[in-house]
Structure 1
Amino acid sequence: MMATSRLFGRCGGLLEAAKAFSASFAYSSSSSSSGNGRGLMRVIPVSPQLGKFLGASEASRTDAIKKIWDYIKLHSLQNPANKKEIICDEKLKTIFAGKESVGMLEISKYLSPHFLKSK
C-alpha cells in the first residue's frame, strides 16, 4: 500500500471509493445469478404445450429458446437450402401454431403467447 500511496499521492480517497464500488458490484452480480433474474432470464410459468415440449412448467425465455434450438439441430430441422427456415415436425407444430415452417426470426414471436403473464 505504501508504493500505491507514493505513486498516486492524494488520490487515496479515489482508490478506496473504487474498491468499495467494485466490491458492491461483485456482490450484486453474484446475487442476480441465483435463478430469480429479471427480464429474459426470469423464470415464469409456461403454457401446457410449451411445458410438455420443455419438460417443465416454468422456464425463462432464454432457456426455452436454447432448448428449442437444441431440438432443431438434433433433428436436423433447418432447411438445407435456406438455413433461416425451420421445417416443423409434429412436436414443433404444437408450439408454433401448427405452421409447416417458421423463419428463425419468428421463433420468439410464436413463443410469446406461451409465456403466461404473472401477476
Structure 2
Amino acid sequence: MAAAKKSAKKAAPKKAAKKAPAKKAAPAKKAAAKKAPAKKAAPAKKAAPAKKAPAKKAAKRAPNAAFMKPLTPSADLAAIVGEKGLPRTEVVKKLWAYIKKNGLQDQKNKRQINADDKLKKVFGGKTSVSMFDMTKLVSKHLS
C-alpha cells in the first residue's frame, strides 16, 4: 500500500508540471465550476411547487348553502320529481332519471330532450328542448 501511495504522490507532481503552462484555461474551468452548481439548484426549485399542489387538493370546498336550500316544485313539476321540497341539484337529478327511464333523450343528438305529456307542461309546451335550456325552464317551476 505504501508503494501505491508513493507512486500516486510522484505522479501528481508530474501532472502538475505539465498543467502549469496552461494557466489561461484554469479561469474557464473555474467559471464552468461556478455554473454547474446553478444547474443543480434549478431542479430543486421545480420540485418545490410539486409538493404544494397536493396540499390544495386536500382542502375540500364547502357546498354553497344556496344550492342546498329546499325549493317547492310547482304542481306540473311535482308530477315528475315529487311534492316534497328538494334542492335544485336534486330536482335536476330526478328529472334526468325520469328522462332516462322513459327514453326521452334524442338518440341522434344526445343534447336534445323529447318531451312527453308531463314534461311539455314543465317545458312550456315545447316538444323538444336542449339540455342547457332545460334547467332554465325548470327554474320557473321552483319557488
TM-score (norm 1): 0.63
More deviation, 40-49/105-114: 40-49
What's the counterpart of residue 103 of structure 1? 130
Residues in 2 aligned to 1:57 and 1:94: alpha-carbon distance in whole angstroms:
19
Alignment of 1:1-119 (within 5 A): 38-116=65-143
1:48–1:57 contact (8 Å) kept in structure 2: no
Give me the CA root mean square deviation. 2.0
What is the SS of the residue equivalent to 1:62? helix
Q: Between Structure 1 and Structure 2, which shows a larger proportion of helix residues?
A: 2
2:120–2:127 contact (8 Å) kept in structure 1: yes
What is the SS of the residue equivalent to 1:102? strand
Q: Percent identity between the aligned chains?
A: 36
TM-score (norm 2): 0.53
Q: Which deviations, in whole Å up to 9, do the C-alpha atoms of 1:34-64 show, x marking residues without a partner? A: xxx7212210222121122212241211111
Q: Which deviations, in whole Å up to 9, do the C-alpha atoms of 1:3-56 show, x marking residues without a partner? A: xxxxxxxxxxxxxxxxxxxxxx9xxx7xx8xxxx72122102221211222122
The amino acid across from 2:65 in the alignment is: R
Residues in 2 aligned to 1:92 and 1:62: alpha-carbon distance in whole angstroms:
18
Residues in 2 aligned to 1:96 and 1:57: alpha-carbon distance in whole angstroms:
20
Q: Between Structure 1 and Structure 2, which shows a larger proportion of strand residues?
A: 1
Instruction: Give every structure 1 segment of 4 or more consecutive aligned residues whose post-TM-superposition deviation is greater than 2 Å.
Output: none
What's the counterpart of residue 4 of structure 2? none
How many residues get paired? 84
Residues in 2 aligned to 1:38 and 1:44: alpha-carbon distance in whole angstroms:
12
Q: Which has the larger radius of gyration?
A: 2
2:72–2:84 contact (8 Å) kept in structure 1: yes
Residues in 1 aligned to 2:89 and 2:142: alpha-carbon distance in whole angstroms:
12
* Change over 3 Å in CA distance of 1:87–1:76 after alignment to 2: same
